[in-house]
Amino acid sequence: MTASTSTAAATSASPAFFRRLRRLLAHPGFRAEPVPVLARAALWLGCVALKRSPRFRLTSGGEQLRVPPDLRYTSVTSFVLRDWSEPELRELDQFVAPGAVFIDAGANIGLYTLKAARLAGPDGIVVAVEPGTVAADRLAANVALNRFATVRLVRKALSDRNGTAVLHHVSAGGDLQAFSLLGDSATKEGEEVATVTLDSLVEELNLPRIDCIKMDVEGAEPMVVEGARRSLERWHPTILFEVNSAILHRRGERTDGCWDRLEAMGYRFWRLEQGRLVSITTVPADFCNVVAMHGGNSPS
At residue 116, the pLDDT reads: 99
Question: Contact, 192 vs 230, CB < 8 A?
Answer: no
Which residue, 287, 233, 296, is CA-closest to 268? 296
What pLDDT score does 73 carry?
84
Backbone angles phi and psi of 59, in degrees to 5 = -140, 175
Compute and round to an integer the Cα radius of gyration of the chain.
Answer: 19
What pLDDT, on the 0 to 100 scale, is given for residue 10?
47
pLDDT at position 71 is 87
Q: How confident is the model at residue 286 (pLDDT cuts 50, 70, 90)?
A: confident
CA distances from 152 to 114, 131, 136, 167 (A): 12, 13, 12, 21
Helix (H) or strand (E) holding 72: none
Q: Which of the two residues, 104 and 187, has the higher pLDDT score?
A: 104
Task: Indicate the pLDDT class of residue 197, thresholds 50, 70 and 90.
Answer: very high
CB atoms within 10 A of CB 118: 21
CATH architecture for residues 86-297: 3-Layer(aba) Sandwich (3.40)
The pLDDT confidence band at residue 13, using thresholds 50, 70 and 90, is very low
Give the range among 8-12, 88-92, 155-159 with minimum mean pLDDT: 8-12
Residue 278 pLDDT exceeds 80: yes
Name which residue leads in pLDDT, 241 or 13. Answer: 241
**Which of 253, 218, 248, 203 shows the shortest CA–CA distance to 131?**
218
What pLDDT sits at residue 250? Answer: 63
pLDDT above 60: residue 177: no
Nearest partner of 227 among 126, 165, 131, 158, judged by Cα: 158
pLDDT score at 2 = 43
Beta carbons of 227 and 198 less than 8 angstroms apart: yes
- DSSP bridge pairs for 192: 166
Element (DSSP H or E) covering residue 276: strand 276-280
Q: For residue 14, name the pLDDT band (cuts at 50, 70, 90).
A: low
Domain residues of the chain, as ranges?
1-83, 86-297
Interval 208-245: pLDDT, tens:
999 999 999 877 899 999 999 999 999 999 999 988 76
pLDDT at residue 199 is higher than 50: yes
Please write the tens of the pLDDT for every residue from 87-126.
999 999 999 999 999 999 999 999 999 999 999 999 999 9
Instruction: Residue 178: name the closest of 235, 89, 106 by CA.
Output: 106
Residue 127 has a pLDDT of 99
Q: Please give the average per-residue pLDDT across 73-77, as a whole number.
A: 89
pTM attached to this predicted model? 0.88
Is 51 exposed, middle or buried (CB count within 10 Å of its CB: 0-12, 13-18, 19+)?
A: exposed
43: confidence class by pLDDT, cuts 50, 70, 90: very high
Query: Of 90-94, 152-156, 187-191, 236-240, which range is least confident?
Result: 187-191
Cα(7)–Cα(224) distance, integer angstroms: 41
- At 22 the pLDDT is 79
Confidence label for 72 from pLDDT (cuts 50, 70 and 90): confident
- Give residue 4's pLDDT: 45
Q: What is the mean pLDDT of residues 31-42?
A: 93
